[in-house]
Structure 1
C-alpha cells in the first residue's frame, strides 16, 4: 500500500471514534514517521471548551508514546466544503517534529483534497533549533 493510501486508511479507520458530541465534527489524523510506522489520532471534545484536543495532537502523542519523534508525512481527514487544515496550535505542534518541507495532506471522506508543506502552513515558524539557540 502506498504511503498516502496507508495514511488515509489509518485516519479513516479511527475517525469514527472521535468524541465530538458538541460540534458533531469528527476529525481523524495519521502520521507516518521516517521508520514507516503510522500513528493515528482523533479529536476529543470536552464540555469545558477549549479543554478538548485535536486529532493531530492525538496522533503526535501516540507517536511520542511509542518512542518516535520525527514526522515524515501527515494526513488530516474531515468533512465539509472547506479544507480541514490544522489549527494554529497544531501547526506549531507539527513543526516541533517536522521540518519545513514535510507534507501535510488534507483529505475529505472521498480522498485527498490538497497538500501543503509545513513551511507553507506555518511560515517563519519558531522551531526546535531556534528554541535551542535561545536557551540559557
Structure 2
C-alpha cells in the first residue's frame, strides 16, 4: 500500500512535476526568481524583461494564471499569504526547489511524445 509519505509517491510526484516544467513555457530563470520573490501573473506581464528572461514565447496574463494553477496542483508553486488571506502572487515550494536541482542552468524542453502525455494528463486526466 502506498501512503502519502511513501518515497514512491514522492518520486512519482517529482517526476510528474519535472515533466510539466519541461512542457510549460517558463524558463529556469523564472523559477529561480520565484524562489527569491513572489510574482503574480499581471506583475509578470508588466515586467519589461519578462518575455526574454522568463518565458519561451509571449503569453497573456490569463494564460500564465492557468499555468500557475496547474503548477500549484502539481505542488511546484504555492499562493503567497498575507494578513488578509491568499494573494494572487505565487512562490516556489520545497518540491519546486527539488525539481530545479535536477537542472543546473536550464530546463530541457520536452519531446513531442512527452508534451502529448503532459497535455493528456492535464486536460483529460481520466482517460
TM range (shorter): under 0.3
Higher strand share: 1
Tell me the TM-score normalised to structure 1 length.
0.25
Tell me the TM-score normalised to structure 2 length.
0.26
Tell which has more relative contact order, 1 or 2 (C-alpha 8 A, sep 6+): 2
